[in-house]
Structure 1
Amino acid sequence: MWKKIGLIILTVVVVFFIATITVTILQKTKQPEVKKVAVAIDEDKALNHLSQSITFQTISYDDRTKINFKPYDEFLSFLEKTYPHVYDELDVKHINDYSVVFKWKGQSSDAPIGLMAHYDVVPVAKGTEKNWEQPPFSGIIDDKYVWGRGTLDDKVGVISILEAVNHLLAEGHKPAQDLYLLFGHDEEIGGDEGAAKIVAYLEKEGIHLRYVLDEGGVIVEDMMPGVSESIGVIGIAEKGSANATLTVEGSGGHSSQPKDVTTLGRLAHAISALEETQFPSDIQGPTKEMFTYVTPEMSFGYRYVFANQWLFKPIIKSILLDKPATAAVTRTTIAPTVLTAGDKTNILPEKATATINMRVIPGDTLDSLKKEIEKIIDDNQVQVHVEGEVASSVSKTDNAAFKEIQQAILATHDNTVTTPYIMIGGSDAKHYQDVADDTYRFLPIAMEKDGLERMHGTNERIEKQAFIDAISFYVTLIKNNMN
């Protein structure tokens, strides 16, 4: 009897390993075959153009009354002087004074595509100027880098696209279908006066785009265990941004006679409960697709784990939740950011409020978030109000548009694989959902390991070769859409 049971167990184990290993072996790459291309660009000239663009202090402030628009005018004049061929050959329209739409007339009536970027930048945090190795608006070029605010976010996008179009015009190319260049001026503060106004113009003109490509994902190293190549992450959606306001009201009084639970204490307990519990996590949507693309490129051990998620999903989730950057792609995140209560040290506050910023994954709604918060807090004395934006729609990956972007990345960047992902920040692309079949988010630069910290922080810079490769990417992408 025991021998028979042992044989059954052995058989089950053997079948299990054969099945799981077969699934692992049958993982097929989702990377399209491409030929590497070399684009002959006047590199010094292009680098100087990027350098000059950085010197214009096109700074966006949340308080729009603080914005100095003189550098914006100067920057737009710089573009016109620097790219006269582009301005002569393409139709140019200024939207709301400072955003710009270029139309490059194509040879057919096929649905056009749009290449997006923005030229406003975030301020340099007060007191950090002395920490910059090069002045933040110097545009200094050294042996390896171009320095300054906008080299990563996102004058690099504007200049790369214009350099690519200028190059193709000089070679006599013409797109198969209309190509739009869509440059916003206030992305850093939401895009309501830039991208949103461009979209209103496109709607008025009856222009619908096959897809748009905005900034977003980049090419990064050491992103995924078991993958030795760099990974180009293409955003197919972006998380929404919503705020939950928690309010507790009660009696005040003198601090010498506090109740066991004060308004501020009750609020603190609610915040603590939210941070301890967090929203549910899952591997779904764009994150699930990301693993579908990356798993075939992994070393065998990791491929075995990720190819058999039905078995190893708890382990995978545990690994992802261990780091904030990867945890963020599995769930709506919770970040307490603002606390308001008393204003005198010896008076108990009658009202205490806290703002919880949430970055919302696809599928979560404002109503479902409110209910989940109330469930976690489990205190009817804490009033919850939620407002903001849910996640964007999710763009397709099984279409020609996504493959074209993949091909352009692989043709211009060595030792790289591509994958969809969900962008955890925001971009102007969210405004284009109603005027484009799909919205993608990818900035074609190989990012330094600490590049994301530099992007809105101190010592923003870009490697010179990364900028040149970005131009090559846009040249290749546009040529793929030419007859």
Structure 2
Amino acid sequence: MGRWKMILLIVGIFLLIFAIVTVSRTFMTESRQPEPMKTEVTIDEDKAIRHFSEALTFKTISYQDRNAFDYPEFERFIDFLEDTYPAVHQQLEVERVNDYALIYKWSGSESGKKPIGLTSHYDVVPVLEGTEANWEQSPFSGTVIDGEIWGRGTLDDKIGVIGILEAAEHLLEDGYAPKRDVYFMFGFDEEIGGDEGAAAIVDLLEERGVSFDFVLDEGGAIVENMVPGVEQPVGVVGVSEKGSATAELTISGSGGHSSQPKDHTNIGRVASAIAKLENTQFNADLRGPGETLFEFAAPEMSFGMRYVFANKFIFEPIIESILLKQPATAALIRTTIAPTVFQAGEQYNALPEQATAIINLRVMPGESLEDVKKFIEETIDDDEISVSVSGSEATSVSSTDSWQFQTIQQAARNVYSDAVMVPYLMFAGSDAKHYDRIADNTYRFLPVLITSEDLTRMHGTNEHVSIDNYLNAIAFYMEVMKESDRK
């Protein structure tokens, strides 16, 4: 046999082995989706819709300036809850924290089991001044029209508060009694950090020695056309949230007249530093919740995409390069850099004596604020620019192999039987981060099927939700409580 034939034979054997191994791995990927157990939930839909509609009329608005809060409106909302859900308020222990945060304790029959917690918030963001006329329905009207419920809070996050209480009221009327303690915890300042709401609730419960098997908050939702190769809707359950850091880059020095500038001015130095950061970027790595997302999604993909993700150890560089092409997927695999404020100068013909840039960074789990500061300093390589970094670290990563995660998966599949439920890394902040201290696991999931346009409406104009989504949210919360009792 000639030398080249031998080489071709060896290459052919290698390719055959490669194909056998990689194709076998592809076919061996098993679905991680529980079988749906369809349940029939019969509730008074008209009454539930009326309750939600009225809840949306209360202007429980969070402002950065707490002095601007209309606290009597918050008080009226709490009175509304008491009037609307009599069974909940008669049979559960109800407690206020800092006057407006709420804790409901539903005592279970088996004291040896750790409790679960369902949490949401009833404060909403303001309607941007000057945009009121752009709303098709008034933002605090609670209008119900053409199968949709309109108003601020329909998606973020009065749907969670009302959905949970509707579920509990219905279960109580049916005579249901949980085995484990169930806590409902509702904040009133989540939109500005939750320091007096969720954080204060956690402080109080921690003092009492209360800890949870899991806490479920708002977060990811069910979205169509989200994961390449998956035709079904994909529900994403946040198992961690990125840290949020603010980096301040400042340089000070002599100003002077703009007619005699130095080659590198204060503005130019800081601008150059930002350019270096944007050109360098943090290292991308498909790991943690981002990696787990695709492990759960891969078995549901078309063959070609399943082949790639089932053999990630070979194709990881290609996968990462694809994910980096879109901001939403790039944020899954690296700490992000977003310059948001630049402050310098007061007059067109005078060089500023100081220039400052403010950068918002969303920090990956496994990276610290100290790591962020070190990266910035090494990347900009300018000793005259001072760098300060403050903010919150990424939260811990909750389990995806436990009964706790499977409970949420199962509950969602019971309501949305065709949805593929996967873990993911949440980019935005939520009250869940406060519960990290007293919960073995914290999950983030809003049980609605939404579009990419809905995502822009959460803090924007024309926020609304379909009646079907709202009723499904109620059913989901009932399923979560019942599924938890099976563990």
- Which TM-score band applies after superposition, normalised by the shorter structure? over 0.9
Q: TM-score scaled to structure 1, two decimals? A: 0.99
Paired amino acid for 2:54: Q
Structure 1 residues 47-446: aligned runs within 5 Å = 47-109=49-111, 110-446=113-449
Other structure's SS at 2:83 match? helix
Other structure's SS at 2:405 match? helix
Per-residue CA deviation, residues 388-407 of structure 1 (Å, 9 max, x unaligned), is: 11100011111111111000
Q: TM-score scaled to structure 2, two decimals? A: 0.98
Q: How many residues align?
A: 483
Which residue is 1:17 aligned to? Answer: 19
Offset of residue 201 of structure 1: 1.1
* Higher mean C-alpha displacement, 340-349 vs 73-82: 340-349
Per-residue CA deviation, residues 364-405 of structure 1 (Å, 9 max, x unaligned), is: 111111111112212222211111111000111111111110
Check whether the contact 2:108–2:181 (CA below 8 A) recurs between aligned residues: yes
Paired amino acid for 2:260: Q
Check whether the contact 1:282–1:331 (CA below 8 A) recurs between aligned residues: yes
Unpaired segments of 5 or more residues in structure 1?
none
Other structure's SS at 2:140 match? coil
Offset of residue 51 of structure 1: 0.7
* Distance (Å, rounded) in 1 between the aligned partners of 2:127 and 2:485: 41
Paired amino acid for 1:60: S
Offset of residue 414 of structure 1: 3.0
Per-residue CA deviation, residues 187-218 of structure 1 (Å, 9 max, x unaligned), is: 00000000011001101221111110000011
* Distance (Å, rounded) in 1 between the aligned partners of 2:185 and 2:63: 21
Other structure's SS at 1:265 match? helix
Check whether the contact 1:174–1:482 (CA below 8 A) recurs between aligned residues: no
Which residue is 2:35 aligned to? Answer: 33
Other structure's SS at 1:476 match? helix
* Distance (Å, rounded) in 1 between the aligned partners of 2:483 and 2:80: 29
Over 3 Å off, 4+ runs: none
Which residue is 1:8 aligned to? Answer: 10
* Distance (Å, rounded) in 2 between the aligned partners of 1:354 and 1:385: 11
* Distance (Å, rounded) in 2 between the aligned partners of 1:273 and 1:133: 44
* Distance (Å, rounded) in 2 between the aligned partners of 1:66 and 1:43: 36
Identity fraction in percent: 54
Check whether the contact 2:36–2:417 (CA below 8 A) recurs between aligned residues: no
Check whether the contact 2:88–2:168 (CA below 8 A) recurs between aligned residues: yes
Offset of residue 443 of structure 1: 1.0
* Distance (Å, rounded) in 2 between the aligned partners of 1:57 and 1:269: 45
Offset of residue 33 of structure 1: 1.9
Which residue is 2:46 aligned to? Answer: 44
Check whether the contact 1:38–1:412 (CA below 8 A) recurs between aligned residues: no
Root-mean-square deviation (Å): 0.9
Offset of residue 184 of structure 1: 0.5
Unpaired segments of 5 or more residues in structure 2?
none
* Higher mean C-alpha displacement, 17-26 vs 305-314: 305-314
Per-residue CA deviation, residues 413-440 of structure 1 (Å, 9 max, x unaligned), is: 1310100001000000100111111111
Check whether the contact 1:150–1:460 (CA below 8 A) recurs between aligned residues: yes
Per-residue CA deviation, residues 292-348 of structure 1 (Å, 9 max, x unaligned), is: 100000010100011111221122112111111111111111111111111122211
